Amino acid sequence: MIRAGQLHYTKLMQTVTQIRRKCRATCVGADGSQIAELAVSLPLMMVMLVGIIDFGQAFNLKHKLETASREAVRYASNQSSADFTNPVPPTVTAVRDLIHNYLQAAQIDDCGLASAVPSSTDLVWTYRTTANCPGTFTVVIDRGSTYLTPGGTPVTVEATHITISYPFQWRFNRVIKLIAPSANYANGVQINADAMMQNLD
């Protein structure tokens, strides 16, 4: 004969076993859903992460190029114009070297700027180089730029204008294909910076 306590214990154990089976089935289903959620969200997270890194690097490069152009124009505007009769004036070469040194200090590839030879028209010297770069790196040194002063009677002021155009390679275009295989984004872009200052020589 089974005692009442044993019967109660047996029913309790059956209930615990049923609960355990249901929990096991539920947990197995949850593991599968977590993997599915990861499979859906991981590509989105990768695209966002690479996008943040890419755009951050582009803005950082833009800031460094603007600083380089300001430093170069500040130096160039104080240089003499007496050597402009030379095919490549030493003062223009010194400006190029200043930009090269700044880029190296900022850990930016100068794409062979240090050995580039400029083309010139009037008082404008243009350096173009593609060595180790995804595109063309261009530096334009215009020592004969002019602008009009604002206000009452405009006065023409002779200035130095330096323009830097640097090729930037996106990584975002490769990662976006994880969520949109037919997406077609540009591989690269030119990041531009320029500065102008009145000639003080």
Beta strand ranges found along 57-175 (DSSP E): 119-121, 124-129, 137-148, 156-169
Distances (CA, A) of 158 to 76, 116, 197: 13, 27, 9
Q: What's the rounded Cα separation, in Å, for the pair 42 and 164?
A: 38
**Cα dihedral angle (194, 197, 200, 201), rounded to 10 degrees?**
30
Helix (H) or strand (E) holding 153: none
pLDDT at residue 181, as a whole number: 81
The sign one gets for the Cα dihedral 124, 127, 172, 108 is negative
pLDDT, one tens digit per residue, over 61-112 is: 999 999 999 999 999 999 988 888 888 899 999 999 999 999 999 999 999 9
* pLDDT band with cut points at 50, 70 and 90 for residue 20: low
Instruction: Indicate if the pLDDT at residue 2 is higher than 50.
Output: no
Into how many domains does the chain fold?
A: 1
* Nearest partner of 195 among 99, 64, 66, 58, judged by Cα: 66
Task: Using alpha carbons, select from 174, 172, 166 the residue that is nearest to residue 194.
Answer: 166
Amino acid sitting at position 17 = T
pLDDT value for 1: 43
Q: Which amino acid is at 146?
A: T
Closest CA to 95 of 79, 112, 116: 79
Would you say the C-alpha torsion 45, 46, 47, 50 has a positive or negative sign? positive
> Per residue in 162-195, pLDDT tens?
999 999 998 888 888 777 888 787 788 999 999 9
**Spatial CA neighbour of 140 closest among 65, 51, 201, 37:** 65
Give the domain extent around 160. Answer: 5-198
